């Protein structure tokens, strides 16, 4: 009976763990059915009441082994699909970054052979650590993104190990890797219209990419998460006049002291760079 109770506890913990993992999407219906079959077979295996002459123990164990094999195969396929999707996303992001770099180099070459004004209009000319200059554009975030019904205002940052800090295990959250911290940059986003307005950054065409440069370092793509307030992939409705606090998250070395924060937003061949701090 103790072993049976222990199995139930372990299975409950498995369910809670899967439910609380913010970085893994839902399993397919077929995979959920396989896990259910595996769970039932596991219960039957350790239920002493079923080990009587009225039950074919060998058949029960055989069913358990078959269900476990299906479960293991489904789990392997599941994580393989996750890995493939992540690799595809990284490849797309790298291709886009290469295109942006090529575009910037061509623009710089064109400007250097022109009238001498260059591409520093409205910019500080501060080196960004990648061979170019940080051009601080005059356009606002909402103007660049074509979201005239919204207002985006930088609202500070925090350095932390987990975000949100007070998140419970079954609520999506993100943790810094070993030796690192999370730099969480806040934005107050307001619906400026008198009607309900939808902010859909996730499905913008062309795709929108956000990068942060901390303390004059190179620009690095922000972490794209399943957090409800992640501005990089946000999709949601705003009531008239409503303000929501959204975040962009990047990882820095543990113990980093922040002095400057720069933001770069890219859509296709167009980009916007803002000095936030």
Residue 27 CB neighbours (<10 A): 15
Per-chain mean pLDDT for the chain: 75
How far from 9 is each of 5, 13, 33, 272, CA to CA, in Å? 6, 6, 20, 52
Among the CATH numbers 2.60.40, 1.10.3210, 3.40.50, 2.40.420, which is that of 124-275? 2.60.40
Mean pLDDT value of segment 219-224: 90
Please give the residue that has the higher pLDDT: either 50 or 98: 98
> What are the respective helix, strand and coil percentages of the chain, to the nearest 5?
40, 25, 35
191-219 tens-digit pLDDT: 999 999 999 999 998 889 999 999 988 88
Please give the residue that has the higher pLDDT: either 100 or 19: 100
User: Which pLDDT score, from 0 to 100, does residue 169 have?
Assistant: 58
Of 6-15, 66-75, 113-122, 144-153, which range is least confident?
113-122
| Residue 113 pLDDT greater than 80, yes or no | no
| Residue 235 pLDDT greater than 90, yes or no | yes
Please give the residue that has the higher pLDDT: either 152 or 12: 152
Of 8-12, 127-131, 139-143, 181-185, which range is least confident?
127-131
Please give the residue that has the higher pLDDT: either 121 or 236: 236
User: Which pLDDT score, from 0 to 100, does residue 46 have?
Assistant: 57
Q: What letters, b where the CB count within 10 A reaches 16 and e where it falls short, cover 233-271? A: ebeeebeeeeebebbbbbbbeeeeeeeebbbbbbbeeeb
| Residue 133 pLDDT greater than 50, yes or no | no
248-267 tens-digit pLDDT: 999 999 998 999 999 999 98
How far from 128 is each of 205, 219, 259, CA to CA, in Å? 27, 8, 14
Instruction: Judge whether 232 and 246 are in contact, CB under 8 Å.
Output: no
Q: Which residues contact 196 (CB under 8 A, 6 or more apart)?
A: 237, 238, 239, 240
Placement of tokens 């219960």 in the chain: 43
User: Which pLDDT score, from 0 to 100, does residue 62 have?
Assistant: 77
142-172 tens-digit pLDDT: 999 999 899 999 999 999 998 887 766 556 7
Q: What letters, b where the CB count within 10 A reaches 16 and e where it falls short, cover 142-181? A: bebbebebbbbebeebeeeeebeeebeeeeebbebeeebb
User: Which pLDDT score, from 0 to 100, does residue 105 have?
Assistant: 59
């Amino acid at each position: 009976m103790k072993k049976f109770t222990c199995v139930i506890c372990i299975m409950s913990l498995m369910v809670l763990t899967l439910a609380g993992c913010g970085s893994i999407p839902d399993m397919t219906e077929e995979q959920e059915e396989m896990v259910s079959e595996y769970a039932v077979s596991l219960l039957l295996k350790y239920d002493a009441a079923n080990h009587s002459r009225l039950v074919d123990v060998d058949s029960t164990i055989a069913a358990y082994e078959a269900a476990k094999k299906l479960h293991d195969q489904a789990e392997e396929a599941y994580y393989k699909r996750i890995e493939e999707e992540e690799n595809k996303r990284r490849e797309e992001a790298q291709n886009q970054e290469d295109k942006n770099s090529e575009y910037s180099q061509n623009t710089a070459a064109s400007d250097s052979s022109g009238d001498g004004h260059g591409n520093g209009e409205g910019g500080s000319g501060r080196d960004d650590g990648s061979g170019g200059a940080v051009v601080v554009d005059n356009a606002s975030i909402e103007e660049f993104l074509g979201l005239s019904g919204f207002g985006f205002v930088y609202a500070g940052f925090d350095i932390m190990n987990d975000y949100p800090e007070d998140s419970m295990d079954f609520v999506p959250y993100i943790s810094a890797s070993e030796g690192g911290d999370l730099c969480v940059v806040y934005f107050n986003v307001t619906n400026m219209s008198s009607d309900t307005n939808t902010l859909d950054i996730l499905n913008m065409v062309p795709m929108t990419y956000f990068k942060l440069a901390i303390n004059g370092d190179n620009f690095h793509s922000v972490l794209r998460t399943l957090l409800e307030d992640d501005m990089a992939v946000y999709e949601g409705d705003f009531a008239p006049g409503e303000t929501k606090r959204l975040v962009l998250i990047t990882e820095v070395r543990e113990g980093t002291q922040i002095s400057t924060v720069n933001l770069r937003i890219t859509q296709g061949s167009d980009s916007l760079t803002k000095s936030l701090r």
